[in-house]
Structure 1
């Protein structure tokens, strides 16, 4: 125990209110504390000798005993990084040594190093809970015995380092929840201070999803009205104030509940981009957070952002279809909301290429009528998809002749836009979009379609030359391999009369199929080489004509080659049934994959492609494109070891 009157007589604190004389329990290491030393002038720094640095870092108390006889010198010692002996003891977590240093030189508690960090910063950054608690006990003990002016000076909780971080910033950054809670209980103002980046400790706690800590920081009086809570919170927080937005970004319902329960008006706050909480949650696809906000407010879905978009548009723009349909389910009339361009939710999804959202909206009877909706320029969702060449959305948006016939204010249908805007050279997305749109028109049968493609013009001779040389190389490799395979027939050759030199399995039907496919592959590749030789003459029209012939021939050769290999294996190991079944399954999967990968490349470069079978092939490819992408990714993982 220590008597308050006795302590005050030691402190020499002028103007302090004398204690009442009651006794109180204090930590043992503070019983000999002299408050007059808290703000003592240290004098100039003295370079710390290596032996002191080493022994203090090791927690050697004998070294400290030697320094006690030179108290003024002890307070002035600094390492080459500006650390005092108290900093060093804190860094290495020597609690007892810290207590002895503090009792001898309490002024070191407020002394920063070259990075602007006090010992409390260092303790919080290192996660030394016991040391932080000891510092808090010292500050609490001293503050209760100092006058108001000196008590304000004795506040290490609000001191900032060179990055503007308080000790609480560093504790939260290190996820030291116990230390952070201790610091919050010690000082209620520190959590609202911003660092050099404008980030407060409260902001960091929300971002780190520390529910209990956020709740402790946001405690307010029960009799304070909601508007008072909001204004009080806004006036306290330095820097970023969008706490609800941050809790959504952190995907923490617990933190969001704490913030909005304490200050419900924050649900209407906007961030720097003018987005409401609901709009921001919809943009990042946080379904649980959006549902939470919808449960709290029935009007927020009708509040637009600064750019004129509603939350349902934001969800559609980012392709979060589950959130879009949550809006429509709860507020059926929200699908009629228009942004400043007069675009409904389907317009936004189509414009941004969100084909899955577009498909679900068009396949739902309650929302399929949005497909004929027109914006301020008279464009339907199909118009916008074509303008941006989002071919994935064409199949679902061009579902009826009514949509295909709609003209915008310029008098253009979706087909007119595609045919006018498609570039003369080969751009895959543009050619693909045009082909799918023309097939949709052909399927609805209201307009004649002669071909799904348009002739392309080579614009860059150098690139075309490189392309032709690549095809020549591939064709030459196929011809070489198939030529060699023709003389290495499965089963080998007879080595004795009367059929000397003839194929051993000449009567086997699978060998006949192998030879037939091998011959077709070789001859097609040779024909490809002969055709591409004409393309080397430099005539642009001749290059295009040669490619029209060479590409189908090379595709045919590439498909025949793996089939020939399959039948060659069947000839050799056909008696092993389980192995035969595995080989056939793998080969068929690869064959269909090759068709769907190489087919569109060849088909879309042809000057004339029939809209019947070719169109069905393109639509089928679109329907199973995701599966093909997964297969391609699997192949990359297996053979390349990467995604």
Structure 2
């Protein structure tokens, strides 16, 4: 075995803390401690010696018999260290070999205080791994020696429960990081003062226990709050180090009993704010913990009117996160909170309109409360934006539809301009990106539908909007779209041409009708031929229109889309019907069940085809005439809005100028 060149540094425990929880004498001493004296505890080893693989493996395996062999080496067992600075007691403790731990302590009690290179003593190792039996053994050993120390100062120096590693973690921190609640409770019962010490991250074990939802552990920790520290009144707020927003942690854990335990012990903690400056009630509204919010409101409704550091109020947070039950409870207890404005001058309907989590039910509820005055939906913030403006700026298509649909004064709202002189529709048109983003197209589509009675005969839905269609168009911008449509139209023309030549049922091979279709007089066959011809000719028209778009003239691009897409839509629909009637022509007399199934499938997929065509309409320059029907457009909008995902980007807003962003 090799000896490290560098001499071992002397270890000491410069604790300035005076322990307020002394360990009592035990009635019975564990057998493995009976022959030990207090002086053995300070019999520190000399130079560190590298632990060979044989010893390392034996300790990991919990081989107690190997200790006898180690005595013959002539090197003190207390000197052995692995490459991490762990002693044999560290290894045995971390792996839960409590019998081996007892044997090592009886041989080398000084290892109880021996840290590794991370300044972790064996109690850290056992607590981190959640080895309850080992922790109890170590606690019993520490209790044994502590009871034999007469000096209070020396006993404070021996309080290993408050020793911190390089991360500032005590053994109790280590246990709670691994969520080893029983192990943590054992350490708390041994010494409660460590519950209030912070680590390098400013987190105390009490905060961690609250965050983990350990009610029994929290109650046991709170028993450590006493009123006898140097003759001064001691309370939880003054004793607790690091993060003091325990109520926030309890709300996050959604544990009402822990909230009660904390506030009953220290009511002033309800006034603490977290690192983002949020009050307890605001944080409860943020996480949507209804019972916790009710608990805080039961204590005082004044918290509703306490502003966060960012200028928002609890009701704004609840609305932004879409927690309808919390919003209703706050408004039920404090109806006047509906008038609260944040620092941007925005009311709760502004917040709901811009939020991706606010649903129709929340908007309906707010507007129902506002139906007498009808001012929330018309109110403008410091930038002059109404809720409809903010919904448009953040591309909230569903919210835009709800605001324009449920308002009793929609005509007035649609005309309101912000400080830049822009209506909601103007904002959408100006800031619509040239590359395809579905939620932007849908927002503009909903707004145009709302403005439809004002004389819009055609509804442009591409980057060439009402405001910009007079501008010069870059033909390359639509090149990929033209090629995709051209490919589809070509495939439709090819398939329908082939179907018209090789008709269902085949041809007569003899007789006066030689070469004619066998099913020529069948009504379904006649319909098949009609729709097949319509599909082929419509696709040819679309192909020719798209070929014009390939010529490179920017002015032709828009016109090509205008003619190509309606004919391509007609071709796809006709091809579907041609296939349906072709199947009927060859199978209608075989089985009523087959006929029923065929008709059912056709109707279902016809509806799907219709809505998918409408879905693609959003990318076309003009909505076809058949969609200008009020019922068809409204139905299409409701179906298309199901495809809009607004939860994926809470901060998503228009890419326009700063004047229209939030």
Same fold (TM over 0.5): yes
- Alpha-carbon distance in 2 for matches of 1:459, 1:552: 21
* Cα drift, residue 371 of structure 1: 1.6
- Alpha-carbon distance in 1 for matches of 2:284, 2:473: 46
* Cα drift, residue 127 of structure 1: 2.4
8 Å CA contact 2:617–2:623 kept in 1: the answer is no
Q: Is 1:362 matched up with 2:367?
A: yes
Given the superposition, is the C-alpha separation of residues 616 and 360 from structure 1 closer, same or farther in structure 2, using an over 3 Å criterion? Answer: farther
Q: Is 1:596 matched up with 2:611?
A: yes
* Cα drift, residue 368 of structure 1: 5.0
Q: Relative to structure 2, which stretch is displaced further, 64-73 or 202-211?
A: 64-73
* Cα drift, residue 570 of structure 1: 3.3
Q: Is 1:182 matched up with 2:197?
A: no
Q: Deviations over 1:232-287 (max 9, x none)?
A: 33443333332221222223333333323322322222112111121122223333
8 Å CA contact 1:121–1:170 kept in 2: the answer is yes
* Cα drift, residue 204 of structure 1: 2.0
Indicate the residue corresponding to 2:20 in structure 1.
Answer: none
Indicate the residue corresponding to 1:513 in structure 2.
Answer: 527
8 Å CA contact 1:359–1:393 kept in 2: the answer is no
- Alpha-carbon distance in 2 for matches of 1:274, 1:543: 54
Indicate the residue corresponding to 1:326 in structure 2.
Answer: 329
* Cα drift, residue 46 of structure 1: 0.9
* Cα drift, residue 440 of structure 1: 2.6
- Alpha-carbon distance in 2 for matches of 1:61, 1:41: 22
Normalised by the length of structure 2, the TM-score is 0.82
- Alpha-carbon distance in 1 for matches of 2:644, 2:414: 30
Q: Is 1:114 matched up with 2:117?
A: yes
* Larger RCO (CA under 8 A, 6+ residues apart): 2
8 Å CA contact 2:614–2:636 kept in 1: the answer is no
Normalised by the length of structure 1, the TM-score is 0.84
Aligned to 2:67, the other structure's residue is in SS state: helix
- Alpha-carbon distance in 1 for matches of 2:506, 2:368: 59
Q: Is 1:44 matched up with 2:47?
A: yes
What pairs up with 1:194-205 in 2 under 5 angstroms? 194-205=198-209
Alignment match of 1:403 (pick from 396, 413, 418): 413
Aligned to 1:372, the other structure's residue is in SS state: coil
Alignment match of 2:177 (pick from 162, 167, 173): 173
Q: Is 1:78 matched up with 2:93?
A: no
Q: Which runs of 5+ in 1 are unaligned?
A: 1-21, 631-643
* Cα drift, residue 428 of structure 1: 5.4
Alignment match of 1:153 (pick from 140, 154, 157): 157
* Cα drift, residue 483 of structure 1: 2.4
8 Å CA contact 1:242–1:270 kept in 2: the answer is yes
Indicate the residue corresponding to 2:9 in structure 1.
Answer: none
Indicate the residue corresponding to 1:492 in structure 2.
Answer: 506
Indicate the residue corresponding to 2:19 in structure 1.
Answer: none
* Cα drift, residue 139 of structure 1: 0.9
8 Å CA contact 1:248–1:281 kept in 2: the answer is yes
Given the superposition, is the C-alpha separation of residues 69 and 415 from structure 1 closer, same or farther in structure 2, using an over 3 Å criterion? Answer: closer
Indicate the residue corresponding to 1:565 in structure 2.
Answer: 579
Q: Is 1:472 matched up with 2:486?
A: yes
- Alpha-carbon distance in 1 for matches of 2:620, 2:208: 55
- Alpha-carbon distance in 1 for matches of 2:606, 2:295: 49
Given the superposition, is the C-alpha separation of residues 545 and 624 from structure 1 closer, same or farther in structure 2, using an over 3 Å criterion? Answer: closer
Q: Is 1:249 matched up with 2:252?
A: yes
Given the superposition, is the C-alpha separation of residues 469 and 99 from structure 1 closer, same or farther in structure 2, using an over 3 Å criterion? Answer: same
8 Å CA contact 2:473–2:555 kept in 1: the answer is no
Q: Deviations over 1:501-556 (max 9, x none)?
A: 43333333222223322222222222211111111111111111111111212222
Q: Is 1:288 matched up with 2:294?
A: no
8 Å CA contact 1:451–1:611 kept in 2: the answer is no
8 Å CA contact 1:458–1:544 kept in 2: the answer is no
Q: Relative to structure 2, which stretch is displaced further, 191-200 or 139-148?
A: 191-200
- Alpha-carbon distance in 2 for matches of 1:592, 1:23: 81
Q: Relative to structure 2, which stretch is displaced further, 309-318 or 283-292?
A: 283-292
Given the superposition, is the C-alpha separation of residues 430 and 125 from structure 1 closer, same or farther in structure 2, using an over 3 Å criterion? Answer: closer
Indicate the residue corresponding to 2:387 in structure 1.
Answer: 381
* Cα drift, residue 136 of structure 1: 0.6
Alignment match of 1:621 (pick from 636, 644, 647): 636
Indicate the residue corresponding to 2:556 in structure 1.
Answer: 542
* Cα drift, residue 83 of structure 1: 2.2
Q: Relative to structure 2, which stretch is displaced further, 158-167 or 311-320?
A: 158-167
- Alpha-carbon distance in 2 for matches of 1:89, 1:431: 65
Alignment match of 1:258 (pick from 258, 261, 264): 261
* Cα drift, residue 138 of structure 1: 1.0
Q: Which runs of 5+ in 2 are unaligned?
A: 1-24, 461-465, 646-662
Quick check: which one's helix share is greater? 1
Q: Deviations over 1:429-456 (max 9, x none)?
A: 555444433433445xxx5545444264
Given the superposition, is the C-alpha separation of residues 302 and 609 from structure 1 closer, same or farther in structure 2, using an over 3 Å criterion? Answer: farther
- Alpha-carbon distance in 1 for matches of 2:552, 2:586: 47
What pairs up with 1:55-454 in 2 under 5 angstroms? 55-68=58-71, 73-146=76-149, 147-219=151-223, 232-353=235-356, 354=358, 356=360, 357-363=362-368, 365=371, 369-398=375-404, 399=407, 400=409, 401-408=411-418, 413-415=423-425, 417-418=427-428, 429=439, 432-443=442-453, 447-453=454-460, 454=466
Q: Deviations over 1:170-195 (max 9, x none)?
A: 32233322111000111112222333
8 Å CA contact 2:542–2:568 kept in 1: the answer is yes
Indicate the residue corresponding to 1:5 in structure 2.
Answer: none
* Cα drift, residue 89 of structure 1: 2.1
Aligned to 1:467, the other structure's residue is in SS state: helix
Q: Is 1:504 matched up with 2:518?
A: yes
What RMSD in Å do the two structures reach over aligned CA positions?
Answer: 3.2
* Cα drift, residue 335 of structure 1: 0.9
8 Å CA contact 2:210–2:250 kept in 1: the answer is yes
